[in-house]
Amino acid sequence: MKNLLLSSLFLICCKLTLAQTERLILDTDLDSDVDDVGAMAMLHTLEDHERVEILGIIVTSDDLHAPLCADAINHYFGRPQIPIGVEKGIDLREFSKYTRAISHTFPKRLNEYADAEDATRLYRKLLAKEADSSVTIVTIGHLTNLMHLIQSAPDDISKLSGFELIRKKVKL
């Protein structure tokens, strides 16, 4: 019995050690609450430990500084190359004190909201290049950009609709 227990623990440890790095896209409503900043910090820490790879950040917020804040956080954690997508063509507001403060205080590559990529195109681009059933989408807050992805039609990025891309590429 003792040997069986030790063998089981050994197999569990091996599985955790040999587990594949999760490839993920974070969809966040980075604006009024700081839970999103905490989530981004946790994901970056998990990437430091090779448990996840952040493929992209989708910002689902009408706050003028939200994508700049996400970019500053990525820079702070040494990952300035992570692409950021936003919903285009929406009315923007300036209401979050912390997104403004972070985006004005820390280095970033984006200078304004418009510099971020279109969220639906970025979702499609990120998913299209990944292996089947390999991507995890983590969403915090509004589901607007995920809805736009689901409703998207085939395009120059992929012959699949957004719904088909999700079915083919997303595992969780």
pLDDT tens per residue, range 36-80: 999 999 999 999 999 999 999 999 999 999 999 999 999 999 999
Its pTM stands at 0.88
* Cα–chain center distance at 123: 9
CB 81 within 8 A of CB 44: no
Domains of the chain: 20-169 (3.90.245.10)
Instruction: Identify the band that residue 19 occupies on the pLDDT scale cut at 50, 70 and 90.
Output: low
